Structure 1
Amino acid sequence: MYQRILVTTDGSTLSKKAVTSAIQLAATCGAELVAMKVVPRYPQAYFEGSIPLSVAEVSRIEKQWTEAAQANLDTIQKAAKAKGVSMKSVTVKSDVVSDAIIATAKKQKADLIVMASHGRKGIKRLLLGSETQQVLTHSHIPVLVLR
C-alpha cells in the first residue's frame, strides 16, 4: 500500500495524535516513516522602534529552535522504534511551512503525507491561515488529514 509515509509535527497535542496514527499506519503497511519538523528562520525587522539583534544572537535562537525540533523528532523515533517502524527524521528551515512539507515529501519520495488540522473556520482561518489547506491544495502526493 504505502512504502514511505511523511508525517509532519509542530509538537502540539493534535500533532502528536497524527504522529501516533502515522506510526500505526506505517506498522500496518510495513512502510518507512519520515518525521519532519519545520523550523522558521528568525524574523529580521528593520523598522523604526524594533530591537535589532546581533548575528550571534539570531544564530543562538535558531540553534535553540533546531535543537528543540530534534528533541521532538527523537521522541517520535523512540515511539516508532517501539512499534518496529523504521524511521528517518528531517528538520527543515523555512518560512513557508506548506512549501517545505511538499518539497520534503518529494525529496524523500513519500507516497503519503500525514498531518493534523485544527479545523479552524471563518475569521480564525483567515487570520491564522492553514498550512494543511495549502498542502492539500498544492500537493500531488496523497494527504491524510487527522483531527
Structure 2
Amino acid sequence: MENIIAALDLQDQTELVVEKAMEMAEKFGSKLHLVHVVAPMGNYVATNIVDPLSGMETAVLPNELDLIEVHKNTAQERLDKIISGLPAGMVKAEVLIGAVEDEVINYAREQKAGMIVVGSHHRSGFARLLAGETSVRILHEAQIPILVIPTIENK
C-alpha cells in the first residue's frame, strides 16, 4: 500500500487519528497524507452596513473567499505543526476546499491510496442526524478500506 490518507477535522482528537494513521503507514511502509477540507460556508458578500441615524459603520461582512482563505491558512499552519513531530519525508499535508466527503474520496483516488483513516465523534440522536457523520458518508462512497478511529467528543 503506497499511500494512506488521514482525513482530519483538526478538532480535539486529531492527534489520536494521526497517531493511528502513522502507525498504519509505518506498518505498511506507506506515505501518509494528512488532509483537511475547508467547506464553503455560504454566499457572503463584502458589505459595509451603515447605521442611517448615526452614519457609523456597524459591521463588515467579509467576502466568503476571504473567509475560506483564512480557514485554509489556519488549517495549513495546524497541519504543518502536526507534521513537524512526524518522520521527515514520510508525511504530506494538503488543505482542500469543497464538500468534505467528495474532496477526501477524490484525493484518495488521485493518490491511488490503499486506505483512508478517519475519526468518528460518536454523536447520537439529533446531533448525529444534523452532522451527518462524515466518516459514514466516506465509508459508503470510497472503494478502498476505511479505518474509523473512535474519538470521544468533549462536552
Does the 8 A contact of 1:27 with 1:85 survive in 2?
no
Count of residue pairs the alignment pairs up = 138
- The TM-score with structure 2 as length reference comes to 0.79
Match of 1:69 in 2: 75
Offset of 1:28 from its aligned partner?
2.5
Match of 2:146 in 1: 143
Offset of 1:145 from its aligned partner?
0.2
Greater strand share, 1 or 2? 2
Distance 1:52 1:42 in 2: 17
Offset of 1:138 from its aligned partner?
1.2
Larger Rg: 2
| Cα RMSD for the two superposed structures | 2.2
Q: Gaps (5+ residues) in structure 1?
A: none
Distance 2:82 2:89 in 1: 11
Identity %: 28
Distance 1:9 1:16 in 2: 9
Q: Gaps (5+ residues) in structure 2?
A: 46-58, 151-155
- The TM-score with structure 1 as length reference comes to 0.83
SS of equivalent residue, structure 1 residue 80: coil
Residues 45-60 of structure 1 aligned to structure 2 (within 5 Å): 53=61, 57-60=63-66
Match of 1:78 in 2: 84
Match of 2:125 in 1: 122
Shifted more, 58-67 versus 132-141: the winner is: 58-67
**Which of the residues 87, 90, 94 maps onto 1:90?**
94
Distance 2:34 2:92 in 1: 6
Distance 2:2 2:101 in 1: 22
